[in-house]
Amino acid sequence: MDTNRLSKKIEAILNRQVTKEAEAAQIYLSYGCWADGEGYGGVANFLFRHANEERNHMMKVMRYIMDRGGSVKIEAIKAPPSNPKNLQDCFEKTFKHEVDNSNSIYEIVNLANEEKDWATYNFAQWFVKEQIEEEKLVMDLLDKLKIAGGPKASNESLFNLDKELAEMPDEVPLAREATEDNPE
C-alpha cells in the first residue's frame, strides 16, 4: 500500500527546498569566512550562527517529507557565490538571497494551494513567517551599516558595528507580534 501523502510535484518542490536551505547554509558559511578574514569577527560569528539556522530549516523540510511518507533526495549543492567586495556588498547579497528564498517558499504555498494539499500549505506557513524574520534581520543589518556611515563608514564605527553583531540576537521581533504594551 502506498502511504506517500505527497504528490510527485509537491515532493519534488519540497526536495528542491531542502537543497536550497543547504545552499543557504553554505553561503552564510562562505561569507562568514570572508568576514573573519577581513577582521570582522563579530559579523563572522553572526553569519556562522545563521548558517546553523539554515541547516535547521533544511532539517525541518526533510522531516516533513519523511513524516508524510515521501522520499528525501539529498542532491549536490552549488558552490557559494564569490566573496563580497565589502560589508555593504555582503549584506546586500545576503538580502537578495533571502528574498529569493522567500519566493521559493511562495512557490510551495502556490502549488499546495493549487493541489489543495492543506497539510503542506499549513506546513509552509511557518516558513512564510520565518522569511519575514529573515528578511527583516538583514534589513536591520543594512540599516545599522547605513547609520555607521555606509560606504564611508569610519574604521571606528565599523569596529563598533562588528562588536554589536557579535552579540546580536538571531531572532527579530515582528510588527505582527507587537502589542500596545509591548510595541517592540
Give dist(CA 22, CA 94) in Å, integer: 15
Q: Give the nearer residue to ligand FEO in terms of CB position, either 124 or 153.
A: 124
State the cell numbers at 65: 517529507
- Residue 53 C-beta: closest distance to ligand FEO, Å: 7
Q: Which of residues 95-134 bind ligand FEO (CB under 6 A)?
A: 98, 101, 134
Q: Which of 42, 57, 121, 124 binds ligand FEO (CB under 6 A)?
A: 57
Residue 54 touches ligand FEO, criterion: CB under 6 A: yes
Give dist(CA 9, CA 17) in Å, integer: 12
- Residue 19 C-beta: closest distance to ligand FEO, Å: 12
Give dist(CA 155, CA 169) in Å, integer: 23
State the cell numbers at 5: 501523502
43, amino acid identity: V
Q: Give the nearer residue to ligand FEO in terms of CB position, either 21 or 162.
A: 21
Q: How far is CA 93 from CA 107, 138, 160, in A?
A: 21, 10, 22
- Counting DSSP H helices and E strands in the chain, the numbers are 5, 0
Q: Give the nearer residue to ligand FEO in terms of CB position, either 7 or 104.
A: 104
- Residue 55 C-beta: closest distance to ligand FEO, Å: 9
Q: Give the nearer residue to ligand FEO in terms of CB position, either 24 or 44.
A: 24
- Give the up-direction half-sphere exposure of residue 37: CA atoms within 13 A in the CB hemisphere: 10
Q: Which of residues 137-176 bind ligand FEO (CB under 6 A)?
A: none
Q: Give the nearer residue to ligand FEO in terms of CB position, either 51 or 166.
A: 51
**CB contact at 8 A, 77 and 22:** yes
Binding mask 18-37 for ligand FEO (x = CB under 6 A): ---x--x-------------
Give dist(CA 12, CA 123) in Å, integer: 16
3-class DSSP assignment, residue 150: helix
Q: Give the nearer residue to ligand FEO in terms of CB position, either 15 or 158.
A: 15
> Closest-CB residue for ligand FEO?
57
Binding site for ligand FEO (CB under 6 A): 21, 24, 54, 57, 98, 101, 134
